[in-house]
Structure 1
Amino acid sequence: MSNATSGAGDEQRPAADPSGASGVDLARVALRAAKEQARARGAAARQRTQARRGGLRSGARADGRDPQPLGSAISRLITERGWETPAAVGGVMGRWPQIVGEDLAKHCVPQRYDDAPDERVLTVRCDSTAWATQLRLLAPQLVARLNETLGQGTVRLIRVLGPQGADRRFGPLRAPGSRGSGDTYG
């Protein structure tokens, strides 16, 4: 028999490698590829197993899933959400007596802060018209002090509200169209 005809029992030999690599080098390349495939299959199997067990577990090294101190977690949340200015203003409302003084703090209470870019208004309610007038006179100095504490441009205007009068109810002792108590402001 000649080699010209190929029979069913003939052995197939690999074609000669054009790069000149020997059989040992080819075996190493094939072994490396098989190991990488096995690692990939193992990693996929581990992920499926961990998903069935309820997700990844924290290991010995620190990562994002580990417990954090409450202060740093809140600071990170405030920074991520962009709540720096409202949080700072909230802190000012808590320290109101130290910022404006005890006498003024007894009679004038901050109500809200509007953080619209063109407004930035702090609304303050006073318990009498006299204190509301006093606060209106002190407003420029108070705005400067608040901006010194919070950062320049945080508060542009202080809106002063006078005492909140009684509800406008009509009854036997009230004239229609009256405004309530005699101490009305605004």
Structure 2
Amino acid sequence: MAHAALEAAKAKAKARGGPPGLRTGRLTGGGQNPRRRRWSGPGADARDPQPLGRLTSRLITDSGWSERLSSARVFGQWARLVGENVAEHAHPVSLKDGELTVQASSTAWAMQLRTLQRQLLAKIAAGVGNGVVKRMRIQGPTAPSWRKGPRHVPGRGPRDTYG
């Protein structure tokens, strides 16, 4: 019976193409890719541990998040980018297609921001990167709307209600 099992194993090895006396298993490295090395050696290798910053930057570029991340950086670092004094009186509202919409606290600050627009764009480009914000749209404060409902009477609206 043992002789028959040995003959069957030899026939199976011959069918695979290996010599009948060679054993393939964990000790001889059978089943592994022959191009793969067992040890990385003293040099740098792709399998070595990588710094977290390098891994996250690779993840960001592979996933296509770099544009969204840079636009989020404008909102998160607004006070540092434009300065505390400007950030106290203006805040970013939206960033679409390179156009940053900024809401000012008063009409005077909206006018001041329009005059400082080139300097603000240069500061933002230096802090976040070129091409993230290409132009700015500065809005003043919005006035309350007295138009309520679908029907209204044209005119100047209430004037002397603020006493």
TM-score by length of 2: 0.57
Higher relative contact order (CA 8 A, sep 6+): 2
Answer whether contact 1:122 1:155 (CA < 8 A) is retained. yes
Equivalent pairs: percent with the same residue? 40
Runs of 4+ that moved beyond 6 A: 68-73
Aligned residue number for residue 98 of structure 1 = 80
Q: Does the C-alpha gap of structure 1 residues 152 and 127 become closer, same or farther in structure 2, counting only changes over 3 Å?
A: same
The answer on 1:124 being equivalent to 2:124 is no
In structure 2, stretches of 5+ residues that fail to align are 1-10, 25-30, 32-46
> Which residue of 128, 135, 146 corresponds with 1:168?
146
Q: Amino acid of the residue matched to residue 130 of structure 1?
A: A
Q: In structure 2, do the counterparts of structure 1 residues 31 and 81 end up closer, same or farther at CA, with 3 Å as the change threshold?
A: closer
1:55-70 aligned at under 5 Å gives the runs none
1:32 Cα shift? Answer: 4.3
How far does residue 31 in structure 1 lie from its aligned partner after superposition?
Answer: 5.4
- Counterpart residue identity of residue 110, structure 1: P
- 1:158 is aligned to 136
Three-state SS of the structure 2 residue aligned to 1:123 is strand
Answering whether residue 116 of structure 2 is matched by residue 141 of structure 1, we say: no
Match of 1:110 among 92, 108, 112: 92
Q: Which residue does 2:67 correspond to in 1?
A: 85
Structure 1 position 30 matched with structure 2 position 8: no
Q: How many correspondences in the alignment?
A: 122
Conserved? CA contact 1:121–1:155, under 8 Å: yes
Backbone CA RMSD of aligned residues: 4.0
* Structure (1 or 2) with the larger CA radius of gyration: 1
One-letter code aligned to 1:155: V
**Cα gap change, 1:73 to 1:129, in 2 (>3 Å):** same
Q: What is the TM-score of this pair, normalised by structure 1?
A: 0.51
Q: Higher mean Cα deviation, 72-81 or 149-158?
A: 72-81
